[in-house]
Amino acid sequence: MKIISGNEYFNELRASGGSQQSYADLDDVVLNIIQEIKQNGDAALRSYTEKFDQTNIQAIKVSTEEIEEAESKVSETFIQAIKKAYEHIYKFHANQVEKSWFYNEEGVMLGQKVTPIESVGIYVPGGTAAYPSTVLMNAVPASIAGVKNIAMTTPPQKDGTINPHVLVAAKVAGIQTIYKAGGAQAIAALAYGTETVQKVAKIVGPGNAFVACAKKWVFGEVAIDMIAGPSEICVVADESANPSYVAADLLSQAEHDERATAICVTHDKTVAEQIKDEVNRQKSKLKREEIINQSLADYGRIVVTESLEQSFAIVNEMAPEHLQLMIENALELVDKVEHAGAIFFGNYSPEALGDYIAGPNHTLPTSGTAKFSSPLGVYDFIKRSSIIHYSEQSLLNVADEIMTIANAEGLDGHSEAINIRMENKE
């Protein structure tokens, strides 16, 4: 993990123009998969599952018995942990509930009607790792919002089953409809429906590049949460930070993916050297060291800035998914942060805490999109309808203004819709 200057890293950020991927190299493959699912439904889904997941499945939908049996395959310790996580996530997201509102004023009633999205499909990645936490982070806010139909899709294991930890999390979250499907084919199935998979109104959840590309192409047919890129962390550290903690947090992010970004920003050169030494010492003990080494070589940096002000300038240019402020007076300095998905304060609030049990959502904007996006929340699972009611006199009071604007736009039909009411007033 190399140490570079703040100015050098600024140049890297600006040269990259943001790291949001275009996925253009995957478009042809993904579009062919989508078309095949649209044309051949379940048969295509089974074929792609055999091709990409190396397993044959007959029943695409997970049975009630499989969900019930999952508890016997995991430890009681895990069950209790996932239930505690559920409680914390539920408590946090319950505060995000929006209500319909109305007000009346001299014959005018205006307002906003809040309605849950009717159906949502949750994508949960599989492959080399299982993500029961992702189940909760997506299902809990959808449930709180009042979504009636929540379905989940996740790649099967090579024996044709779903990871039992994922199934237990789904049971705790109250998900009863689960499909054995992954990749772009699962996204297409949720977007267009098959004989087994019911079409949904919105698709949420992270995935690999093929999943992200598929979400891009089905957007418009259905809504999506975001097109997520590789995971990111930025740690701002000073002499108050424990170098071993900083190193551990950087490594916890680098182990996600070879393309994960782990950045430490500090204005103290001694702290930078200590963190680098700790990274090298700790990484050899981790199971995913090969992935970590690739991630750190390509995207890991320890950035030595000229001042704390420059450190925050880098943070705001990067707009990281996860930001840890391991500095003195962090709470007092948080206003300097303009762009970040989630902000963690102090030595005892690691990013891993937010991933699993703190409560706030871990589905966060990546690739610089924190400059204009927010974490997944209850608000992502509702629709807002404007409410307008005018009495006759209230309409007449503004009729001239409406017709003036309509005529200025050359829309005489709009003007006449008002005029006809004026001519027929009671």
Which is the catalytic residue, given 93, 321, 351, 362? 321
Give the CA-trace dihedral at 36, 42, 43, 48, to 10 degrees.
60
3-state secondary structure of 286: coil
User: How many whole angstroms separate alpha carbon 174 and alpha carbon 161?
Assistant: 19
Q: Kindly report, residue by residue over 406-416, the tens digit of the pLDDT.
A: 999 999 999 99
Say what the pLDDT of residue 16 is: 76
Q: Characterize the bridge pairing of strands 382-390 and 108-116.
A: antiparallel
Mark whether 93 is an active-site residue. Answer: no
Count of Cβ atoms closer than 10 Å to residue 313 Cβ? 17
User: How many whole angstroms separate alpha carbon 250 and alpha carbon 243?
Assistant: 11
Mark whether 71 is an active-site residue. Answer: no
What pLDDT tens digit does each residue of the chain (426 aa) get?
Answer: 899 999 999 988 888 765 555 677 889 999 999 999 999 999 999 999 999 999 999 899 999 999 999 999 999 999 999 999 999 999 999 999 999 999 999 999 999 999 999 999 999 998 667 899 999 999 999 999 999 999 999 999 999 999 999 999 999 999 999 999 999 999 999 999 999 999 999 999 999 899 999 999 999 999 999 988 889 999 999 999 999 999 999 999 999 889 999 999 999 999 999 999 999 999 999 999 999 999 999 999 999 999 999 999 999 999 999 999 999 999 999 999 999 999 999 999 999 999 999 999 999 999 999 999 999 999 999 999 999 999 999 999 999 999 999 999 999 999 999 999 999 876
Say what the pLDDT of residue 20 is: 52
- Measuring CA to CA, how many Å separate 251 from each of 19, 69, 219, 350, 376? 20, 35, 34, 12, 24
Say what the pLDDT of residue 198 is: 98
* Consecutive H or E run containing 112: strand 108-116
Say what the pLDDT of residue 345 is: 97
Q: Are 317 and 46 in contact (CB under 8 A)?
A: no
What residue ranges define each of the domains in the chain, with the CATH number in brackets?
2-20+230-359 (3.40.50.1980), 24-224 (3.40.50.1980), 391-423 (no CATH)
User: How many whole angstroms separate alpha carbon 141 and alpha carbon 70?
Assistant: 23
Say what the pLDDT of residue 219 is: 97
User: How many whole angstroms separate alpha carbon 308 and alpha carbon 291?
Assistant: 31
CA quadruple 220, 223, 225, 230: dihedral sign: negative
Which is the catalytic residue, given 322, 339, 351, 362? 322
DSSP letters for 218-240 = HBTTBEES----S-EEEEEE-TT
User: How many whole angstroms separate alpha carbon 209 and alpha carbon 228?
Assistant: 9
